[in-house]
Amino acid sequence: MGSSGAADYYVGLLSAAAIHGASHQAPMVFQVVTPARLRYRTIGRTRLQFIQRADAAERPRIRHTVPTGRIWISSPEVTVFDLVEAPERAAGLSNIATIIGDLLHDDKLDPAALADVAAFYPTVVAQRAGHLIDFMSNEENLPINTDPLHTALMQDRFRYLSPGSGTGERDNRWRLIVNIEVEHDL
């Protein structure tokens, strides 16, 4: 990805998860988050999918060296929030839970950074991310302190874990109705 002045993009979602070593499958497309509205493109055998986010350049990202130069990729915390925000671009919440588990195994999620990143997303995205992080932390016996993220939210309204409706158990900590069963691959 060449730069035309300011680098206002980052490699995100499943592509970033793969770069962070947290993807069990190779993504079918190379996902790039940018403030511009761009169409899918194919370069050689690589299919590019552009996801428009007005604040892409403000979200925490890191430089990553590739054989052809350096690119911006989302931080592990932004990767989680982006995936939770767009589960349809990430093979669903169960796949996202698996990715979160991998990031936890590799100790790549920072509690303070999770709280900071939450400011870039709707509250419900942070609630869902917090629930999935706690779920995988418990499933894999990998403790992480999500209190900073929880404190940053202070949410009173219950929302659904999976967008839509349905019934399920209530997660009082994250104020979510767990209306789907999450089945990770770890």
For 122-175, the pLDDT digits (tens) are 999 999 999 999 999 999 999 999 999 999 987 778 999 998 878 999 999 999
Q: Looking at the predicted structure, is the pLDDT value of residue 179 above 70?
A: yes
Q: Looking at the predicted structure, is the pLDDT value of residue 3 above 50?
A: no
What distance lies between CA 159 and its chain's CA centroid? Answer: 18
For 39-88, the pLDDT digits (tens) are 999 999 999 999 999 999 999 999 999 999 999 999 999 999 999 999 99
State both tokens at 92.
Answer: 């669903």
Band (25; pLDDT cuts 50, 70, 90): confident
Per-residue DSSP letter, 87: G
- 117: three-class secondary structure by DSSP: helix
Nearest partner of 71 among 22, 14, 7, 5, judged by Cα: 7
Nearest partner of 12 among 24, 64, 2, judged by Cα: 64
